[in-house]
Amino acid sequence: MSWDPQASLKAIEGAAESFNQEEAERLSKDLINGLEHGEKIEAATARKILGALRRKGWFALLEKVAEALCFTEQDDAQVRRQYAQALIDQGKIPAAVYVIESLITRTADDPAENAEARGLLGRIYKQLYVNAVNAGGSPNLALNRLNIQRAVDAYLSVYGSDPATHLWHGINAAALSARAARDGVALSQGPDPAAIARDILATLAARGKKAAALNAWDLATGAEAHLVLGDATNALLWLARYVQEKDADAFEIASTLRQLTEVWGLTIDKAPGMILLPLLQSNLLQRRGGSIVLDRDKLAELRQKTADAAPALDKAIDAAPPPKNYEKVLGKEGVVTMGWYKIGLDRAQVVAKVLNPAGDGFGTGFLVRGKDLMPALGDELLLLTNAHVVSTDAVVREKYGSLEPSDATVAFETFAAAREQQFKVKKLLWTSPPDQLDASLLRLDPP
């Protein structure tokens, strides 16, 4: 292959967007081979390639490419920082410490990169603490106390140097100080978590009034600041905005999810974890290209079997003696009957897939009866979907990549009367942008 770093960048970005990790591995191998044979690459292009790999959480690939750049002396501070991030996320902590300590020395004349490097050192010590204590170690073991103190010191020193800029360092210092208090660890220099959280929210409020909107990290930081203050409702609202940001990809969402589970100890079975974690988990699955594929014929067969079996199964459950050994029921819903599943399959009939012009799944929607929204619409069945899926608003399409109504096709996979057809959008009747109700009401053709 001829050496063309820009083409490699576009190809790797394309593989990342389509979740084609196998292709990304092939392209990365070609890139590394070129570097080893003396080919050159501009630092800006190298950083973008690493960024594409990092944002999908492909840390093993990120490590290999960054390492090749470092050993062919085609790296800079950002390349080394991303190399360290790859090592940390793979649990290669000693190697990451070596890279970061070296980077702190190398960036003494670059305040921005130096702050990022010191923040990563804080993350390393944070990880060492939570790994040990969450696995059952004593928080007051000398090494564990030292690691959480090191983490707080690292974050606090960066935040204190410029509180208006280094917000994520500040929220980490607050979160770890709160964690130390919960664990009974006395910090020699422990900030007031609530005071930091209030200061951060005030900074974000001021920043949000300016022309530039808050970015993804700002929104995640705001959510955690509300968590510090014990306000789970507003934490959820900030997270809901966060996961809609284009800049919140797999790397960002995984980082936030890790913070809430490892540092805050949130779990899915109790508040506030039960309302915060599912939002992040489902969006992380989407960003990583996860999916569940159901064959429509098998789904129809399953639906019929559940319909036939439900009465007998419900009767058997009612007649069964109580268990001798009790089991813990995990999750909010608990045990359900086969009839409950049948209801779900029945309701799935009105759920549709929205396809883009290439025929790929782009979003979902469901049928609603017109007069339930507005009497003048009568009994007509309309499709309700998201504005980030279909919109007539040029601003929304530009920001969120929504389809124009004329480019959308609608397909039903479990509705027997319609599943052999595809429907076009005859008219968009009403829409509300993503930062409001995030909804679009569509009239289908044919009805």
Longest dimension (CA), the chain: 76
Alpha helices in 209-272 (DSSP H): 216-228, 232-242, 250-258
Cα 173 to Cα 167: distance, rounded to the nearest angstrom: 10
Which residue has tokens 């014990």?
A: 230
Q: Give the pair of three-digit tokens for residue 97.
A: 């410490």
Do the beta carbons of residue 383 and residue 442 sit within 8 Å?
yes
Q: Choose among 122, 123, 267, 263: nearest CA to 180.
A: 263
What percentage of residues in the chain have a pLDDT greater than 90? 57
Is residue 428 within 8 Å of residue 390, measured between CB atoms? yes
The DSSP secondary-structure symbol of 403 reads B
Alpha carbon distances (Å) from 442 to 214, 355, 376? 31, 14, 15
Q: What mean pLDDT do residues 153-168 have?
A: 94
Q: 369 by DSSP, 3-state: which?
A: strand
pLDDT at 327: 46
pTM: 0.62
C-beta separation of 50 from 62 below 8 A: yes
Write the Ramachandran bin of 57: left for phi over 0, alpha for psi from -120 to 50, otherwise beta.
left
Q: Report residue 86's pLDDT band, with 50, 70 and 90 as the boundaries.
A: very high
Nearest to 134 by CA among 237, 7, 263, 30: 263
> Is 364 strand, coil or helix?
strand
pLDDT per position as a tens digit, 264-276: 999 988 889 988 9
Structure tokens at 78: 């950002």
Strands 409-412 and 361-369: unpaired
C-alpha to C-alpha distance for 437 and 123, rounded to whole angstroms:
36
Which position has the token pair 């210092």?
Answer: 173
Average pLDDT of 157-168?
94
What's the whole-number mean pLDDT along residues 368-396?
A: 92
- Alpha carbon distance 210, 7 (integer Å): 37
Structure tokens given for 99: 């890279």
Distance CA 315, CA 431 (A): 46
The count of residues in the chain is: 447
Q: How far apart are CA 331 and CA 124, in angstroms?
A: 32
pLDDT in tens, 268-307: 888 899 889 988 988 888 777 665 555 666 666 666 666 6
**At CA 280, angle to CA 208 and CA 360, rounded to 5?**
100
The verdict on whether omega for the bond into residue 321 sits within 30 degrees of 0, i.e. cis, is no
- Burial of 161-173, coded b for 16+ CB within 10 Å and e otherwise, reads eeeeebbbbbbbb
- Helix/strand/coil for 143: helix
pLDDT digits (tens, 9 = 90+) for 164-216: 999 999 999 999 999 999 999 999 877 899 999 999 999 999 887 765 578 99
> DSSP string spanning 260-303?
IIIIS---TTSTTHHHHHHHHHHHHHHHTT------HHHHHHHH
Q: pLDDT value at position 133?
A: 95
